[in-house]
Structure 1
Amino acid sequence: MKLIVITSPEFLPGETELMQAMLEEGLDRIHLRKPGCTAAELAALIERFPAPFRPRITLHDHFPLQRTYGLGGVHLNGRNPDLPDGYRGTVSRSCHSLEEVAAHRTATDYLFLSPVFDSISKQGYRSAFPPAALREAAAAGIIDEKVLALGGVSEANLPEVRDYGFGGAALLGDIWARFRSPADTAEVLRHFRRLLQAAR
């Protein structure tokens, strides 16, 4: 299964170095999601990634930076629902219902469906999909390798993600709840290696 990490919405000391280390360990892709940040702030973050890592970075905001820095894709969501004019790269999208997945799957390279489990990062953001509904969606071809589970994904429930037929998972709270400073890097990387093993 693929694993994607979505950034913390806040800028954190040492986050770029942690993300680079996870990419080196085998993370498929990083999604830069910093709602409310300026283009200059996001550009400064991107510039800290060496050029070889940039094709594995996807933007949630300030889409013109994708071309400027040779990034790997853009992600459509409620804040930014439309592609830039002339865009030809990788496209992903957030979906919060199975109907949205069915409607957008042909126009995207992959999709996030959330919340599959109770959110770690957003208190009170509860799972919206009973297990039976997910299995039915997989049997109908709505959930497949193009759809990644988001929301409450952890080492403990990655086997369920596979069982439901998802092509992978997007991680947010499970990573960033463990990381508040560069001193946490080694422990978070040990945890991430366990996630990689669970996803294989």
Structure 2
Amino acid sequence: MKLVIMTKSTFFVEENIILSALFDEGMTNLHLFKPGAAQLYTERLLTLLPEEHYKKITLHDQYYLKDEYGLAGIHIDNPMEDIPNGYKGNVSRTCCDLSSLKMMKKKSKYVFLKNIHDCIEFKKEKQTFNNMQLMEASRSGLIDKHVYALGGMSIDNIKAAKDLGFGGVVICGDLWCRFNIHNQMDFKDLISHFKKLRYAAD
């Protein structure tokens, strides 16, 4: 199954160094998620990353930077938001309920099904589905290789997501909690955990 890494929602000093190291370790799909960030900071992070990895980065905002930097595509978090006028390229989306999942899949390269578990980074975002609902969605073909599990995904529940038929998992808090952005310089634990995530997702 596919392994998607989502950035921490805030910028931090060592971020470009860690992201570059993750690319070197085989990260193939990075979602740049910085809600409310100024363009200046987003561009600064991009310019600090090796250009050969731009094609592995998907934007959650400031979509116009996609063509400017030759990025992989854009991701639309708001289910009500339309694709930008004139946009051509890969589009992925976030879906919050099973009733709209089928329609979302038709308009997207892949879809994040949100709140599979309680979110690690955003504590107010809680689990939306029970296991029976997910099993039924899997049996009916709603959950397939184009649907990725988002929300509280960790090394401990990747296998369960795989068994349900998800095509990928989106990892955020389970990775970034391995590094303290305020007082830590050594990110060996984070890289080691990424390797375990890759192995679990294969």
TM-score (norm 1): 0.94
CA offset at residue 108 of structure 1? 0.3
* Corresponding position of 2:6: 6
Task: Report % sequence identity.
Answer: 36
**Equivalents in 2 of 1:80, 1:71: separation in Å?**
24
CA offset at residue 84 of structure 1? 2.3
Whether the aligned pair in 2 keeps the contact of 1:58 and 1:71 (CA below 8 Å) is yes
* Corresponding position of 1:22: 22
Q: Indicate the SS of the match to 1:74.
A: strand
Aligned residues: 200
Question: Which range moved further: 23-32 or 142-151?
Answer: 23-32
CA offset at residue 27 of structure 1? 2.0
Structure 2 unaligned blocks of 5 or more = none
**Equivalents in 2 of 1:73, 1:32: separation in Å?**
11
Structure 1: which amino acid aligns with 2:75?
H
Does residue 64 (structure 1) correspond to residue 64 (structure 2)? The answer is yes
**Equivalents in 2 of 1:195, 1:150: separation in Å?**
15
Q: Indicate the SS of the match to 1:183.
A: coil
Structure 1: which amino acid aligns with 2:94?
S
* Corresponding position of 1:73: 73
* Corresponding position of 1:171: 171
Once the two structures are superposed, residues 115-165 of structure 1 have per-residue CA deviations (whole angstroms, 9 ceiling, x without a partner) of: 111211122432111111111111111100100001111111111010111
**Equivalents in 2 of 1:124, 1:65: separation in Å?**
30
Matches within 5 A, 1:51-200: 51-78=51-78, 81-181=81-181, 183-200=185-202
Structure 1 unaligned blocks of 5 or more = none
How large is the RMSD of aligned CA atoms in angstroms? 1.5
Whether the aligned pair in 1 keeps the contact of 2:79 and 2:95 (CA below 8 Å) is no
Whether the aligned pair in 1 keeps the contact of 2:110 and 2:147 (CA below 8 Å) is yes
Question: Which range moved further: 33-42 or 78-87?
Answer: 78-87
Whether the aligned pair in 2 keeps the contact of 1:56 and 1:72 (CA below 8 Å) is yes
* Corresponding position of 1:36: 36
Whether the aligned pair in 2 keeps the contact of 1:5 and 1:30 (CA below 8 Å) is yes
TM-score (norm 2): 0.93
**Equivalents in 2 of 1:50, 1:80: separation in Å?**
34
CA offset at residue 75 of structure 1? 0.4
Structure 1: which amino acid aligns with 2:191?
L
Whether the aligned pair in 1 keeps the contact of 2:3 and 2:169 (CA below 8 Å) is yes
Give the 3 Å change call, closer, same or farther, for CA 193–80 of structure 1 in structure 2: farther
Once the two structures are superposed, residues 42-92 of structure 1 have per-residue CA deviations (whole angstroms, 9 ceiling, x without a partner) of: 111111111110011011111111111111100012298222222221110
Structure 2: which amino acid aligns with 1:188?
L
